[in-house]
Amino acid sequence: MTDLDLVVRARHAVTQGLDAVSVGVAGGRIVAVEPFESGLHGRRIVELGDDVVLLPGLVDTHVHVNEPGRTEWEGFASATRAAAAGGVTTIVDMPLNSLPPTVDVPALEVKRKVAEGQVVVDVGFWGGAVPGNAGALRELHDAGVFGVKCFLLDSGVPEFPPLGPAELEEHLAALRSFGGLLLVHAEDGTAVEAASGQAYRGFLASRPREAEDRAIATVIAAARRTGGRAHIVHLSSADAVPLIRDAQRDGVRITAETCPHYLVLTAEEVPDGATQYKCCPPIREAGNRELLWEALIEGVIGCVASDHSPCTPELKQLDSGDFGLAWGGIAGLQVGLSAVWTEARRRGCTLADVARWMAEGPARLAGLRRKGRIAVGHDADLCAFAPDDAYVVDPARLHHKNPITPYAGRPLTGVVRTTWLRGSEVRDGDAPRGRLLRRGEA
């Protein structure tokens, strides 16, 4: 092949077979994956050092961009730059906490119009499932959302109310009729109590594992009855893993994800008043974390997504340290790969495992057929990752709009050297080249 735009030569790569490869790119797609010595030629040749591993660009299917309406929390420009810096080449944006929330096609078009021309990585969109909009789900599906997301308890914003048990079944049945996907924030509000004060122990007790376990049992029962496809987002309770495993073995269409903060951080290390650690469901104990790792390695949990949900310093109540008043959400989009890798390697996992959890698995969940793998026919979304490089997280150097993260000061291993989107290197200061993706076209 002599008309290639780019050839990336890597002595270490995560592919479906070869370790040392030459990857040929033309027209933004991977057109060749050959042995390192194959002699592919292109207009540009990049040869990576021996200390670098070539990964597929990551796919993060759980990002709250919040624009329009709450752009001071995060926006498309800042979120996608953070993604690219962290090796993420595709994000799928959640239907909240933007205003309007993406619960119908007009709101989706508002969001697309705002995002156009701002994004430096590719961006898809989830729709929202709220009381009364079951009839709008097909229109959202046809307009290109990758699925819809619901809450089973108060979402924290009044414009995105939760589904009750009957509404959950109604929405699952509607989605089943045209092959749609329902993402579920699964906590049972009857098992959740109000929290207040600076003690993390009190906040953790207010949202026990039982709240997740009950809600997940409800989702499984509804999916079993309707035949609908459901996905549990941000699983933090390891006690729910046997429920999910058994349902999967029974053929129930249920999948689950967890997040870097549940795999890396522990309740025991959260200082009182450190509201940058607050998220819902909460970061749990070290023993629970180890069981989540076991479920991820086993495959019961199919993918890892950031649940990047930032806000302003004022909403985090950093001055008061009150967990009851603080906004619940972790800012971690840019550091997810290195955070997960730091813990994965301690458990004997490989970068191939990490790529499966953070690239291939999320792409499969959303139906992104050309994302998540280094393979012929896929988009040339690539990440050069130095797995042995170490650094300490400095919030001031993150691209997130607000420099608040529980990873501040944390030593991590693994540095993203270069990110390519469809064969073009993503550099600070370059004009945005990301695309807005639609279901069925990506």
CB 152 within 8 A of CB 215: yes
Q: Kindly state whether residue 30 falls inside one of the protein's structural domains.
A: no
The number of distinct structural domains making up the chain is 1
Instruction: Give the model's pLDDT for residue 18.
Output: 74
What average pLDDT does range 111-133 have in this prediction?
98
The encoded tokens of residue 75 equal: 């926006």
220's tokens: 């499984």
The verdict on residue 293 lying in a domain is yes
Question: Do β-strands 229-232 and 181-185 pair in parallel, antiparallel, or remain unpaired?
Answer: parallel
Beta bridge partners of 22: 9, 34
**Which domain does 173 fall in, by range?**
57-367+390-409
Q: What is the CATH number of the domain that holds 268?
A: 3.20.20.140
Confidence of residue 39 (pLDDT cuts 50, 70, 90): confident
Q: Compute the distance between CA of residue 296 and CA of residue 292 in angstroms, rounded to an integer.
A: 6
Res 246 pLDDT > 80: yes
DSSP 432: P
pLDDT for 2: 62
Residue 416 lies in a domain: no
13 assigned to some structural domain: no
Going by their DSSP bridges, the two strands 21-26 and 29-35 should be labelled as antiparallel
The DSSP secondary structure of 274-340, one letter per residue, reads: -GGG--SSPP--HHHHHHHHHHHHHTSS-EE---B----TTTTTTTT--TTTS---B--GGGHHHHH
Query: What's the pLDDT tens digit per position in 206-216?
Result: 999 999 999 99
Report the percent of the chain where pLDDT is more than 70: 100
- 46 part of a folded domain: no
Residue 375, domain member (yes or no): no
What 3-state class would DSSP assign to 161?
coil
According to the model, what pLDDT value does residue 442 have? Answer: 79
Note whether 421 and 89 are within 8 A (CB): yes
Summary mean pLDDT of the chain = 97
Mean pLDDT of 257-265: 99
The model's confidence at residue 3, banded by pLDDT at 50, 70 and 90, is: confident
Where are the strands (E) in 212-288, listed by range?
229-232, 254-258
- C-alpha–C-alpha distance, residues 347 and 428, integer Å: 34
| 84 lies in some domain | yes
Q: Is residue 282 pLDDT above 90, yes or no?
A: yes
Could you read off the pLDDT of 289-342 as tens digits, one per residue? Answer: 999 999 999 999 999 999 999 999 999 999 999 999 999 999 999 999 999 999
Question: Residue 266: is its pLDDT beyond 80?
Answer: yes
Residue 1 has pLDDT above 60, yes or no: no
6 in any annotated domain: no
pLDDT in tens, 350-378: 999 999 999 999 999 999 999 999 999 99
